[in-house]
């Protein structure tokens, strides 16, 4: 190789190194901030965080079969159910009274769940926590803290499997039983009368199995979209604007950076408590 060829090759290497460095820096700048290391919960199949697997906006491999969840009779998706008389496959979208219910999905999380509990305690509000089985197993003290504060527990599957409703009845049953078992291992006297399907991806089999196990399928009527981390003000504004007597509000205390949800509670609870009675859903699953 001549000296000029070597010089040209050296220039090419330097340019490539610079381009790779720029690409790495750009990629790092796009990563989300907020959650302390080790507090984010990951899903089983793809490694994405739980609340980033909703049926209508997750990766193609995370969506329930059938395309558009609003057109799919087996879907549901993270959208507010129409009306308050009944959700997908008969799932509940109303408290059945004038009370408003705040529900928190995907926890417990060692960083965000204690903050949520502190704010709820400060305002004297009880809520419903839809917990993921592996998180209940990993953080049993938080299950006990939820129960000690008088909140209601809800089964939210073992590993937030959005596709669970598409699996066999035996697989569904084993998943729900394993989750309830982890909850009861932490709090033996806990009542688990509710089940919420990850992603709202309801199917007839998952509803049927949940009911056979004594759990009422729980959907929602107000979706804050806090899983998209829109910021505290937008989350609070959505709830204050859309809540009405009987509303079931969907929030998250895990599955990603949930500081916005924690901060939103402080913004919205003074207004909500002045307009509605906020309470946990009944421990027995009945209106």
Summarised one tens digit per residue, pLDDT across range 54-73 is 433 332 223 232 222 322 32
Compute the average pLDDT of residues 132-146.
98
- The pLDDT value recorded for residue 284 is 78
Compute the average pLDDT of residues 3-14.
46
- DSSP code per residue over 58-122: S-GGGSPTTS-TTT-TT---SSPPSSSS--GGG-B-S-SSS-BEEEEES---TTHHHHHHHHHHH
Q: What is the DSSP letter of 254?
A: S
Asked whether 226 and 23 are in contact (CB, 8 A), the reply is no
Nearest to 193 by CA among 120, 278, 121, 129: 129
Asked whether 280 and 101 are in contact (CB, 8 A), the reply is yes
Across the chain, mean pLDDT equals: 79
Cβ atoms < 10 Å from Cβ of 182: 21
Query: Rounded to whole angstroms, how far apart are CA atoms 110 and 119?
Result: 15
- The pLDDT value recorded for residue 35 is 40
pLDDT at 281 over 90: yes
Query: Rounded to whole angstroms, how far apart are CA atoms 103 and 194?
Result: 11
Query: Rounded to whole angstroms, how far apart are CA atoms 243 and 158?
Result: 30
| More confident site: 41 or 91 | 91
* Whole-prediction pTM: 0.75
CATH class of 50-275: alpha beta
- DSSP code per residue over 26-65: HHHHTS---SPTT---B-SSS--BGGG--TTTS-GGGSPT
The pLDDT tens digits for 214-254 are: 999 999 999 999 999 999 999 999 999 999 999 999 999 99
3-state helix, strand, coil in the chain (%, to 5): 45, 10, 45
Catalytic residues: 105, 252
Question: What angle in degrees, to the nearest 10, is found between the helix axes of 112-123 and 259-275?
Answer: 20
Asked whether 50 and 254 are in contact (CB, 8 A), the reply is yes
| More confident site: 70 or 257 | 257
């Amino acid at each position: 190789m001549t000296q000029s060829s070597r010089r040209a090759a050296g220039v090419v290497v330097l340019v490539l190194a610079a381009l790779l460095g720029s690409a790495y820096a750009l990629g790092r700048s796009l990563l989300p901030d907020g959650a302390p290391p080790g507090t984010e919960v990951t899903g089983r199949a793809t490694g994405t965080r739980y609340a980033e697997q909703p049926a209508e906006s997750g990766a193609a491999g995370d969506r329930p079969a059938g395309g558009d969840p609003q057109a799919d009779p087996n879907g549901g998706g993270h959208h507010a159910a129409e009306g308050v008389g009944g959700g997908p496959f008969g799932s509940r979208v109303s408290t059945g009274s004038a009370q408003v219910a705040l529900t928190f999905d995907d926890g417990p999380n060692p960083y965000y769940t204690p903050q949520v509990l502190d704010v709820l305690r400060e305002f004297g509000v009880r809520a419903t926590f839809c917990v993921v089985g592996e998180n209940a197993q990993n953080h049993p003290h938080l299950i006990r803290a939820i129960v000690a504060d008088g909140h209601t527990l809800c089964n939210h599957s073992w590993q937030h499997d959005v596709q669970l409703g598409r699996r066999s009845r035996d697989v569904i049953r084993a998943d729900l039983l394993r989750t309830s078992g982890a909850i009861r291992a932490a709090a033996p006297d806990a009542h688990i009368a509710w089940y919420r399907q990850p992603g709202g991806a309801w199917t007839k089999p998952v509803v049927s199995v949940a009911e056979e196990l004594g759990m009422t399928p729980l959907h929602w009527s107000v979706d804050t979209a806090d899983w998209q981390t829109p910021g505290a003000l937008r989350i609070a504004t959505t709830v204050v604007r859309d809540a009405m007597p009987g509303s079931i509000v969907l929030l998250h205390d895990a599955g990603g950076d949930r500081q916005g949800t924690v901060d939103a509670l402080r913004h919205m609870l003074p207004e909500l408590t002045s307009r509605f009675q906020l309470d946990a859903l009944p421990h027995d699953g009945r209106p």
